[in-house]
Chain A
């Protein structure tokens, strides 16, 4: 099917600034007379989104970035302040624990109401009610008020309703983690069947592993705006790198730059100079070209290192270690070039750092760094791909 399941254009949501009671009255007047109220705080701005059938979307972002608001706009719980969202299909939402369940009523009553809220007619409900109760598998508790349920039972009931409805689009976050082992297995099996059968998922998760496993596209929200949207691997890497940078200690100020005996003049990656980083495919070649100024004409040694965006060292090597030296290219200028063939870095964001050292390789003078992003779709763990192979083992015949 070609029409997108969800199409959102310029989607935005803002909340009114209500500090005093008079603000409510003023807002009421403005809404009635003009249909709009300008005094608002935006929590979500300008989100464009298009999800096709079978192309699941992962929604990632820090707490408070607007993920839940976006989901509520998509499911129609909230009305967008700007833009519009169009959904061509049925939606099942498993968001907050027991949302829409009334604690005073029995599980059965709540299932009936939830089904009606999802647009199921009385006859359809009668046909599916046994199936829902069997899936939830909470025994005699089905006729107890929901307020006596454990959180696991609430999730079971909520999931059972959604499973019976088989919506075109399933919107969920990590509530499923509440169920016990056997129920989680049941959910995952159902989810797998659902996705194999052409179902579409919007998953909010802080687990990049799950997002990469279940979704093809990802959208990263930062402070209510789209930071990145596209292929799941690109977006999750960019997001993780952002987190790593955020938690990295602030780089020490290069106070010595240009002052000491040696200083960095330039650092070019694959022939590209300038502030911007380079983007590589996994296994590509990386050439690091460093230019160093030497004030008194002595030949410096140069250390070049690779660190992850949060500062975790990956690999570093110096000219003196390998017994080579920068060559003189101008009066006070020396240069060297380091090449990594078949770069083993796993997809992610990294920094190349270069430091000039005195000829003895003892004192470090300056730091210059450039970003390197390694693209690619890989679910391996860690920083680098180590050479490896899986050994074939002889299958042991089962003992009769």
Chain B
């Protein structure tokens, strides 16, 4: 990526970020406040109403169990949903100004990850300070996990953003499919609590690795498998290559179909 393209990404990223918090009284503080409120809601609903528990003798509390997988998922799914329309939303710009269009997708993915990784750090720190089942140094291992997750999101986002220009229904379909992917990954529950013959199928879901690995490094729940890390890296790399190829191929035709 060239220097002007990087500078341009930064500008779009800043504009995106400012957009999100523009008009709210709390401004940038909202970025931290929002995950805390969300956390309180989950605590109330799952712990006090549903009495949800993670099975097992030395299992962590349900809230840390949920939070460590749900926040990465939110970053991932929101990045996909928002950046799928990144090209379409900037149609006015694309017909009038010459710019590398990947920048629009990249900055959109960056914004979602920036907002939710910040929230994730805040929550993990708060949980580590208030409870003893979250292992704070695990954060040093957890944050690098966002790198392949980001690459996977960016690859899929490039693919979806390019196809969305031609097939406008994609984003609607995606809105319906993403919850399916979430419930098909061990985010709200533990894989160990399912029947034996169902468990292997979860490995087909690319998010399963991330949900379980975040828990492994932060909560010591389950084991971190380097073999599965290698597979996840390969999948992320392949998604990035595919997304980039499709985007490059369709890029010259965007203006014709917008």
Point out residues on A near B: beta carbons under 8 Å: 15-16, 18, 24-25, 27-28, 31-32, 35, 37, 75-79, 91, 93, 95-96, 99-100, 105, 109, 112-113, 116-117, 119-122
Point out the residues of chain B lying under 8 angstroms from A75, CB to CB. Answer: 98
Q: At the interface with chain A, which of B36-44, B149-157, B204-212, B244-252?
A: B244-252
Query: What is the chain B residue whose CB lies nearest that of A32?
Result: B249
8 A-B pairs whose Cβ atoms sit less than 8 Å apart in the complex:
A16-B257, A77-B95, A79-B252, A93-B98, A100-B96, A113-B11, A117-B97, A121-B4
A91 to chain B minimum Cβ distance, whole angstroms, is 8
In the bound complex, do residue B256 and residue A109 qualify as a contact, i.e. CB atoms below 8 Å apart? Answer: no
B55 to chain A minimum Cβ distance, whole angstroms, is 47
Point out the residues of chain A lying under 8 angstroms from B255, CB to CB. Answer: 77-79
Of the candidates B4, B11, B93, B166, the one whose C-beta lies within 8 Å of that of A28 is B166
Instruction: Give chain B's interface residue range (CB within 8 Å of chain A).
Output: 20 to 34
Point out the residues of chain A lying under 8 angstroms from B167, CB to CB. Answer: 24-25, 28
| Residue of A78, A91, A93, A120 with most partner-chain B CB within 10 A | A78
B170 to chain A minimum Cβ distance, whole angstroms, is 11
Query: What is the chain B residue whose CB lies nearest that of A91?
Result: B98
In the bound complex, do residue A16 and residue B4 qualify as a contact, i.e. CB atoms below 8 Å apart? Answer: no
Q: How far is the CA of A147 from the CA of B167 in the complex (A)?
A: 31
Known A-B contacts A78-B255, A105-B15, A113-B15; A32 and B250 likewise in contact (beta carbons under 8 Å): yes
Q: How far is the CA of A75 from the CA of B97 in the complex (A)?
A: 8
In the bound complex, do residue A95 and residue B96 qualify as a contact, i.e. CB atoms below 8 Å apart? Answer: yes
A211 to chain B minimum Cβ distance, whole angstroms, is 24
Query: Which 9 A-B pairs give the minimum distances between C-beta atoms?
Result: A79-B252, A76-B98, A99-B96, A119-B4, A28-B166, A100-B97, A116-B11, A116-B8, A77-B98
In the bound complex, do residue A18 and residue B249 qualify as a contact, i.e. CB atoms below 8 Å apart? Answer: no
Say yes or no for B163: interface residue by CB 8 A criterion: yes
In the bound complex, do residue B8 and residue A18 qualify as a contact, i.e. CB atoms below 8 Å apart? Answer: no
Point out the residues of chain B lying under 8 angstroms from A31, CB to CB. Answer: 249-250, 253
Query: What is the chain A residue whose CB lies nearest that of B245?
Result: A32
Query: What is the chain A residue whose CB lies nearest that of B6?
Result: A121
In the bound complex, do residue B96 and residue A25 qualify as a contact, i.e. CB atoms below 8 Å apart? Answer: no
Q: How far is the CA of A77 from the CA of B7 in the complex (A)?
A: 19
In the bound complex, do residue B166 and residue A27 qualify as a contact, i.e. CB atoms below 8 Å apart? Answer: yes
In the bound complex, do residue B3 and residue A28 qualify as a contact, i.e. CB atoms below 8 Å apart? Answer: no
Q: How far is the CA of A24 from the CA of B11 in the complex (A)?
A: 32
B49 to chain A minimum Cβ distance, whole angstroms, is 41
Point out the residues of chain A lying under 8 angstroms from B10, CB to CB. Answer: 122
Interface positions of B from 93 to 125, Cβ below 8 Å from A: 93-99
Point out the residues of chain A lying under 8 angstroms from B257, CB to CB. Answer: 16, 18, 24, 27
Query: What is the chain B residue whose CB lies nearest that of A24?
Result: B166
In the bound complex, do residue A96 and residue B96 qualify as a contact, i.e. CB atoms below 8 Å apart? Answer: yes
B220 to chain A minimum Cβ distance, whole angstroms, is 44
Q: How far is the CA of A100 from the CA of B95 in the complex (A)?
A: 9
In the bound complex, do residue B166 and residue A100 qualify as a contact, i.e. CB atoms below 8 Å apart? Answer: no
A85 to chain B minimum Cβ distance, whole angstroms, is 12
9 further A-B contacts with Cβ under 8 Å, apart from A24-B167, A100-B96, are A16-B257, A28-B250, A76-B98, A77-B96, A77-B97, A100-B97, A116-B8, A117-B97, A121-B7
Point out the residues of chain B lying under 8 angstroms from A78, CB to CB. Answer: 255
Q: How far is the CA of A99 from the CA of B163 in the complex (A)?
A: 25
In the bound complex, do residue B249 and residue A116 qualify as a contact, i.e. CB atoms below 8 Å apart? Answer: no
B168 to chain A minimum Cβ distance, whole angstroms, is 8
Q: How far is the CA of A112 from the CA of B125 in the complex (A)?
A: 36
Interface positions of B from 1 to 18, Cβ below 8 Å from A: 3-4, 7-8, 10-11, 15
| Residue of A18, A76, A100, A121 with most partner-chain B CB within 10 A | A100
Q: How far is the CA of A352 from the CA of B253 in the complex (A)?
A: 51
Of the candidates A28, A96, A109, the one whose C-beta lies within 8 Å of that of B163 is A28
Known A-B contacts A100-B93, A119-B4; A25 and B11 likewise in contact (beta carbons under 8 Å): no
Interface positions of B from 126 to 181, Cβ below 8 Å from A: 163, 166-167
| Residue of B93, B97, B249, B255 with most partner-chain A CB within 10 A | B97
Point out the residues of chain B lying under 8 angstroms from A117, CB to CB. Answer: 8, 97-99
In the bound complex, do residue B3 and residue A121 qualify as a contact, i.e. CB atoms below 8 Å apart? Answer: yes
A343 to chain B minimum Cβ distance, whole angstroms, is 48
Point out the residues of chain A lying under 8 angstroms from B8, CB to CB. Answer: 116-117
Q: How far is the CA of A67 from the CA of B11 in the complex (A)?
A: 32
Point out the residues of chain B lying under 8 angstroms from A16, CB to CB. Answer: 253, 256-257
Point out the residues of chain B lying under 8 angstroms from A113, CB to CB. Answer: 11, 15
Point out the residues of chain B lying under 8 angstroms from A77, CB to CB. Answer: 94-98, 255
Point out the residues of chain B lying under 8 angstroms from A112, CB to CB. Answer: 11
Point out the residues of chain A lying under 8 angstroms from B163, CB to CB. Answer: 28
B26 to chain A minimum Cβ distance, whole angstroms, is 20
Interface positions of B from 227 to 258, Cβ below 8 Å from A: 246, 249-253, 255-257
Q: How far is the CA of A120 from the CA of B11 in the complex (A)?
A: 11
A78 to chain B minimum Cβ distance, whole angstroms, is 6
| Residue of A35, A76, A79, A122 with most partner-chain B CB within 10 A | A79
Point out the residues of chain A lying under 8 angstroms from B95, CB to CB. Answer: 77
Q: How far is the CA of A122 from the CA of B9 in the complex (A)?
A: 12
